[in-house]
Structure formats: structure tokens, C-alpha cells
Amino acid sequence: MTTRTIQTRGAEIVLDDTGEAEPALIFLHYWGGSARTWSPVVARLPDGARKVAINQRGWGGSRATDGAYDLQALGDDVMDIVETLGIGRYVLVGHSMGGKVAQILAGRRARGLLGLVLVAPAPPTPMQVPSDVRTSMLASYQSREGVIAALKVLAGPTLGDAQREQVIEDTLRGDPDAKRSWPESGMLVDISGALAGLDLPVEIVLAEHDQVERETVLRPLFSNHLPGATITTDPVAGHLVPLEAPQAVAAACARLLARLH
């Protein structure tokens, strides 16, 4: 694995890059995560496949040089990274907030994008989260005690102690503006219109015990907005599916890649 720093049009992005074969898999983490959120998934994928795990601006050592942390800026970073790394064909694998960034790029009909794997994804429509709850979410990301409390909602019963420490470290390391951007604005963005008529293979992995992106809400919603998507549900995981059920995510990646060959 090679760790690289890429200068995009508005950020310095740190990423992990391994393998060579295309289509590449490009991984986009959740609000509070980092590139290493995907390590258990990457470890379960073929060595030869190119796998690029991005620390989105404000997380994991990446930073905005233009001060922007909105979802469109995160999408711009991905497009710049694809160009800089010379990737011709790729699949986006996005978790939660990262799933919404992946949908934004699909809505743009980004060149070279062949498919999506959406993992407990934020929906394309605005999330129905009251203002006081969004304020509480942001407050929980300011201290170790707050993140520990948030984990009671984020995680299912299978998250190990080392993984909990990783989540705490990644969350607290986040840039203050990156922490604010998602609950204050990103959750409310409506990109559903851009997905109309999307002709890409899509795998969606939901989790039975997810208290953030609930299966009962997301399954009918995505069946409407991405009617051709294949939707599976992991019976054990909470919201942190890449850490709690990496085998389910790796299997979805393998299924999508098989559809492209």
C-alpha cells in the first residue's frame, strides 16, 4: 500500500492506494471516518484490484485549502484524484456521507464511473433530522465522552475495542469546519433529481441494526430513486458497516465487479 498526498483544486488529500487492475474501487468514508475505516474491506478484496481509500477533506490528515467542506467540494476532490492518478474506469464505494458524495458524482455522470456500492448510505433526499438533533450530533463530536456516547447509536454489538478507539481518534481529529458542514448543511441537500434515469449498476448494503440510516426508511426510498439497485441487508451490523461487517461490503464489491466483466 502506498500513501499519497494529492493536490486537488481546493484541498490536500491524503489517500491509500494499492493494486493496479481496473476498474478501480474508490472508497469514501462516513462523517467522522477516515481512509482506514475501509481497511477491513480492502483486506478482503483481491490483491491485484486497484483500491483507493480517500481521506475526505477535513478528515484523516486531509485539509481544505479553499475553506470549503460542502458535498460538491468533496465530489470535486474525487474527480481531481481520478484524473491525477490516471484512473480510467472505476467504481465508487461510499458509506453514509460518503455514499451521498458517490451519488453526487453519479448524478454528474462522471466520466469513467461504472457503478456504485452504497453502504448504509445517506439518501439523495434531505434527511428528516430535527435541528436540535443535528446540533446534538455536532456537539457529540467535540469530546471523547461525546463520541463514546455517539457510538451507542452508531455501532452495533460486534464493534471491537480497537475499532472503537479508531472511531474515537478519527472523529476527534476532524477539522471543526468539516464536523459542522454535514449536520448543518450536507444532510439537507437534495440531489434526487440528478439521479433520474441513472443507468449504472448499483449495489446497496443496509444493516438491520442501523439506527442512523434505517433499513425501513432506506429500502423503499432507494427502490424509488434507484429502481435498478440490488439491495441487501446485513443481519448483524449497526451503522458502521465497513468495520462491523466488512465481508458484506467486500461481497457487494465483488458482485458489482462481476457484473462489469
Global pTM reads: 0.97
pLDDT 10s digits, 167-201: 999 999 999 999 999 999 999 999 999 999 999 99
- As a whole-number percent, the residues of the chain with pLDDT over 70 amount to 100
Q: What is the pLDDT of residue 261?
A: 80
Can you tell me the distance from the alpha carbon of 187 to that of 33, in angstroms, rounded to the nearest whole number?
A: 16
Residue 1 has pLDDT above 90, yes or no: no
Domain residue extents for the chain: 2-260
User: Residue 96 pLDDT > 90, yes or no?
Assistant: yes
Element (DSSP H or E) covering residue 54: strand 49-54
Three-state DSSP at 180 gives helix
> Residue 69 is placed in which grid cell?
467542506
Q: Give the right CATH number for 2-260 from 1.10.3720.10, 3.40.50.1820, 3.40.50.970, 2.10.10.100.
A: 3.40.50.1820
116 and 23 Cβ atoms separated by less than 8 Å:
no
Residue type at 141 in one-letter notation: Y
Q: Specify the pLDDT at position 169.
A: 98
C-alpha cell, 145: 465522552
Distances (CA, A) of 167 to 146, 196, 213, 236: 12, 35, 18, 19
Phi first, then psi: give them for residue 179, nearest 5 degrees: -65, -40
- Cβ-Cβ contacts under 8 Å for 201 (sequence gap 6 or more): 114, 115, 116, 228, 230, 256, 259, 260
CB 87 within 8 A of CB 24: yes
